[in-house]
Amino acid sequence: MVARQKERLPQLDIFRAIAILGVLHVHATSYAAGVQALDSPYYFILNFANIFFKYGTPSFIFLSSFVLFYNYYDRPLNRELVSRFYGKRLGYILLPYVVISIGYFVVSQQVNGLLGQPLMEQLTSFVGKLLTGSVYTHLYFVFISVQFYILFPFILKLLQSSRFVVRWAIPIGLALQWIFIFLNKYEWQIPNKGSYAISYLAYYMMGAFVALHFDKFRGWLKSSWRKMSADQKRWTFLLWGYWLIVSLFHVTLWYYGRHDDIWVNSLWYELLWNVHTMLSSLVLLQAAFRLYDQASQRVVTFLIRLGEASFAIYLVHPLILAIYRRFRYYIPIDSFTYVVWIWGGLLAALFMTWFIVVCAFRYVPFVRFFLGSVPKSYLAVGKIKQRHVTGLTQKADV
């Protein structure tokens, strides 16, 4: 198997930018939509943002898989490749996960008044949470990524050796994921099932499928509506149409559950989330390519730079959001000012975190040990390259 030189895809950083915006919307509205603002006359807005933007983490997993298989499928799977692969992930993913987890654990212990507990007791608690991705609410995603990195060489070998598995990758992923969902609901009842990679196997296998058939997807992704064939227009219309319909059903079901206490079987929420977010991954992929070709240079550059920093922003933003939430003072929860304050938290989590990340990338020694790989565009303060030479380091982190 001879490896081909891969086309660089800066559009993927635009995908990352849209995905991190989804994550920030969910986290910024989580407490308001889940607990605090249930009686607000503007609750539908808060619930909509909290559920509609839940595509963030699944989309990152889809993209991570796409990048891995896009880059590695044509390479021979040998000891050198595996060693280099794990060496990079150890330095740029696992080490930052451990270091940032230590930071969040210390802060959480301090806030909760538990920092004075015996050292061994705290160490035992930390290790247990580290091994389940539960040191802080958002770190489960990195924990899931580590699990997929462990599995990657085995899945790569399977796909390289079986055309059947390549052809049926998405149904196989869905079947295994839903077997786990049913067994967990009726037998195991694991409380933090979202911290296990199999909960996202369908997204992972869909990312692999799109990567291995990218020559077929490329024409559709790069075509404007006018230049699409009749079949491409039909599939695009169906994709976006079903995505909007399922997304609205998903939002509405959660609204009636949270606001009116009308709940249905949990499998319906699981199914709508699964379909909503899988379709979102494909919608985001097409949107990223269209934005890259049609948006202004300023917008494209903004999104690419945001996407390049998305992993670091993901790691740091909950800290900024937690600090912001301590300054609500006397804003009435049932006022529109409260809604504005919620989105103020989103903007603070985005831009303040981004500013901190940029400063860390440029001026903090050994920053990769706790924020992952440093994009080349953040190492220099000089002018940003124009679109036609704007590159993308094909990262597998986020």
Looking at every residue in the chain, the average pLDDT score rounds to 87
- What is the per-residue pLDDT for 242? 95
Global pTM value: 0.89
Q: In degrees rounded to 5, what are phi and psi of residue 229? A: -75, 170
Segment 307-315 mean pLDDT: 92
pLDDT above 80 for 380: no
Which of 335-344, 367-376, 380-389: highest mean pLDDT? 335-344
Neighbours of 333 (CB within 10 A): 17
| Token pair listed for 187 | 């037998």
Place 391 in a pLDDT band, splitting at 50, 70 and 90.
very low
User: Under a CB-based contact definition with an 8 Å cutoff, are residues 308 and 17 in contact?
Assistant: no
| Token pair listed for 112 | 């909760």
Q: pLDDT digit string (tens) for 214-244? A: 988 888 888 888 888 888 899 999 999 999 9
Burial class (CB in 10 A: 0-12, 13-18, 19+), 174: middle
Which of 21-25, 78-82, 219-223, 367-371: highest mean pLDDT? 21-25
Which residue bears the tokens 């599939």?
235
| DSSP output for 93-152 | IIHHHHHHHHHHHHHHHHHTT-TTS-HHHHHHHHHHHHTTT-SSTTTHHHHHHHHHHHHH
Segment 159-174 mean pLDDT: 93
Collapse the DSSP code of 239 into the 3-class scheme (helix H, G, I; strand E, B; otherwise coil) and give the result. Answer: helix
Q: CA–CA separation, 116 vs 127, rounded Å?
A: 17
Which residue bears the tokens 């990679």?
197
Which of 20-24, 51-55, 325-329 bottoms out in mean pLDDT, i.e. has the lowest? 325-329
Q: CA–CA separation, 19 vs 188, rounded Å?
A: 31
Segment 344-370 mean pLDDT: 90
